[in-house]
Copies of this chain bind each other. A is one copy, B any other.
Amino acid sequence: MGFYIIVYDIGDQGKRQRVVEILEKWGLRRIQRSAFVGYVQEGRAKDIAREIEMTIDLEKDVVHIVQIERKEWNRAIVVGTSKWSAGSPEGSVVLR
């Protein structure tokens, strides 16, 4: 399993919603309007990328899929309030 942060800029509302559904289907959790985090099985990140590739406008939109360490996410500094389920990572420094 790898831990990932996935961030995206997608102009079209319909395409953006389909990418949200793809990421949620794969069990990732939303941390912001255009960012998700979560565990993905080894080698599956490319499958997610392929699905996204068939969904977005490859000239105008961009998605970054970055494998990081879970402990790096846990140490994140969070400024403000995340209104999504994932909320703030445990142990992170929260400035509010």
- Residues in chain A within 8 A of chain B (CB atoms): 5, 7-9, 31-35, 45-46, 49-50, 52-53, 56-69, 72-73, 75-83, 93, 95-96
Contact = CB atoms under 8 A, between A and B. Distances in A.
A81 B8 CA distance: 11
B7 A32 contact: yes
Contact of A75 (B58, B67, B82): B67
A77 B93 contact: no
Contact of A67 (B50, B52, B72): B72
Contact of A59 (B5, B62, B81): B81
Contacts of A76: 64-67
Nearest to A52: B79
A81 B59 CA distance: 5
Contacts of A60: 80-81
